[in-house]
Amino acid sequence: MRSMEAAQAQDIVLVGATGDLARRKLLPALYNLALDGLLPAEGEVIGYARGQLTDDEFRRHARAAVREHSRRHFDDSVWEPLARRLRFVCAREHGLAGVAERSTQERRLVYLATPPSLFAEITRELAEHGLTRGVRVVIEKPFGYDLRSAAALDDGLKQHLDERQIYRIDHYLGKETVQNILVVRFANSIFERLWNRDAIDHVQITVGESIGLEGRGATYEQVGAFRDILQNHVLQVVSLLTMEPPTSFEAEAIRDEKVKALQTIVPIDPAEVVLGQYTRGVIGGEPIPGYREEEGIAPDSQTESFAAARLRIDSWRWAGVPFFVRTGKRMPRRVSEVTIQFRDAPITFFQPTQVSALRPNRLTLRLQPEEGIGLSFMAKPPGPEVDARPVQMTFSYGDSFMTEPQEAYERLLHDAMDGDRTLFLRSDGVQRAWEIVEPVLASPPPVSYYPAGSWGPPAAEGLISPRAWHLDD
């Protein structure tokens, strides 16, 4: 993989520059890239939005965003040179012609931090103003609502852009721990030889959030947990876990293998899906209203805030190894974790009376928080008796590298400026992810209920039974 260097001279255009994504993620990411000396040495940073701001007002807005959301300390000596490069163009007054006028570089990165319904229209306007030459356009999910709308979105973009100019973000791929899946698999000799049906009983993935809808009720209501997290973030993680070794670590070689991995996932059977919706409950001592009581949500809503599924993988490596995945809002805590559970030892020498607890080995990839990896195995506790007890070997990012992981958006923005497509989705991969979920979208099972602050409806236990969901403590 490449080392990080400042990207080539280019303008950065943030479309939707005063919106939530720009405020919480993009502007702070630009600041942190500046702090690390990774911004292009030359080029403007042009904010484009409907509001009527002067350059100075936009700078003040951006400064406040960075102060509030940057992961690292605010430093005026880093901020000032970046602020001098900030410009603002009012969409209503000048349109993209205003951006064309202020753009100084041959190369541009245009980040569409807008609702996806505007992607095609903005791309058309970019073309109209000669802004598609030398451009890379970054877009973020949702890439459509189903297979058909995803194809329509793609067609709209491709009328003016080449596939190589489109950078589709799944921000999970920007997470250090998610990238680390490939390093753990392909830079060690011990794991990969166990990474198959001979050694693995099943794999499970939990993406739990304790937060609710965060003011996005009306949007979320149209989406639900299955489309919001499972169709994209979870399937991307599955593709990294299941892909074959690439022929090289070049972007296309990795993306080829990821798409092939997605092709081996059997479209999900709705009978193997559990959808849930939270009712009133308590998290961390706080009373939480039910989903249907949230702002923007219909009182009889059938939208799911929880989804679990069993995935079947039709490949030589994975045949017969189930992948159980679950995600939900208003779970007891925020946790993204992958557990690889190995098969039982072939013969048990230890009688149940002798052992306190005989457990299968588990490799746990803690994606967030407390990023790290754990391996559990059985060991003999000290004492005269022959007993076996599970113990845990742990790697923690914080302890080993003495640093917190970089924010996903910093990495992704930098890679897009640098033209490195490894961590971005290719259109065939997006299409395949929709194909995998299509049967469930076509006939979704009814939602069942779970109290806020629990791990989902009881049916989710049934889905994985006789196995059980597991999280590292």
Other CB atoms within a 10 A radius of the CB of residue 339 amount to 21
Q: How far is CA 301 from the centre of its chain?
A: 26
- Short-list 91, 449, 403, CA closest to 276: 449
Shortest spacing between CB 213 and ligand BG6, in angstroms: 8
Write out the two tokens for 348: 């048990």
* Chain position carrying tokens 């721990």: 177
233 belongs to the catalytic site: yes
Indicate the residue among 88 and 111 with the shorter CB distance to ligand BG6: 111
Shortest spacing between CB 315 and ligand BG6, in angstroms: 27
Q: Does residue 388 sit in helix, strand or coil?
A: coil
**Binder to ligand BG6 among 11, 125, 176, 209 (CB under 6 A)?**
209
Q: In what order do the strands lie in the sheet with 362-368?
A: 389-396, 372-379, 362-368, 335-342, 200-208, 323-328, 306-311, 273-279, 447-451
- Helical (H) or strand (E) element with 130: none
- Helical (H) or strand (E) element with 58: helix 55-69
DSSP string, 72-122: S---HHHHHHHHHHEEEEEHHHHHHHHHHHH---S-EEEEE-S-GGGHHHH
Applying the rule CB under 6 A, the residues between 155 and 174 that interact with ligand BG6 are 171
Q: Which residue is nearest to ligand BG6 (CB)?
A: 228
Q: Does residue 340 sit in helix, strand or coil?
A: strand
Indicate the residue among 219 and 400 with the shorter CB distance to ligand BG6: 219
Site mask for ligand BG6 (CB under 6 A), range 385-424, x = bound: ----------------------------------------
Shortest spacing between CB 368 and ligand BG6, in angstroms: 6
Q: Pairing mode, if any, of strands 281-283 and 286-288?
A: antiparallel
DSSP character for 324?
E
Indicate the residue among 228 and 415 with the shorter CB distance to ligand BG6: 228
Distance CA 22, CA 120 (A): 20
Shortest spacing between CB 159 and ligand BG6, in angstroms: 27
- Short-list 120, 117, 118, 144, CA closest to 132: 120
- Short-list 225, 235, 169, 177, CA closest to 21: 169
Indicate the residue among 228 and 294 with the shorter CB distance to ligand BG6: 228
Shortest spacing between CB 152 and ligand BG6, in angstroms: 21
Indicate the residue among 48 and 143 with the shorter CB distance to ligand BG6: 143
Given a contact cutoff of 8 angstroms between Cβ atoms, the answer to whether 220 and 303 are in contact is yes
Query: How would you classify residue 468: left for phi > 0, otherwise alpha for psi between -120 and 50, otherwise beta?
Result: beta
Shortest spacing between CB 175 and ligand BG6, in angstroms: 7
* Chain position carrying tokens 């852009």: 161
Q: Given 61, 160, 233, 414, which residue is catalytic? A: 233
The answer to whether residue 176 forms part of the interface with ligand BG6 (CB under 6 A) is no
Shortest spacing between CB 174 and ligand BG6, in angstroms: 9
Given a contact cutoff of 8 angstroms between Cβ atoms, the answer to whether 409 and 29 are in contact is yes
**Binder to ligand BG6 among 11, 125, 176, 228 (CB under 6 A)?**
228
Count of residues touching ligand BG6 (by CB under 6 A): 3
Indicate the residue among 232 and 454 with the shorter CB distance to ligand BG6: 232
Indicate the residue among 209 and 257 with the shorter CB distance to ligand BG6: 209
Indicate the residue among 63 and 171 with the shorter CB distance to ligand BG6: 171
Write out the two tokens for 396: 């923690």
Write out the two tokens for 209: 């959030």
Shortest spacing between CB 255 and ligand BG6, in angstroms: 20
The residues assigned a catalytic role are 233
Chain residues binding ligand BG6 by CB under 6 A are 171, 209, 228
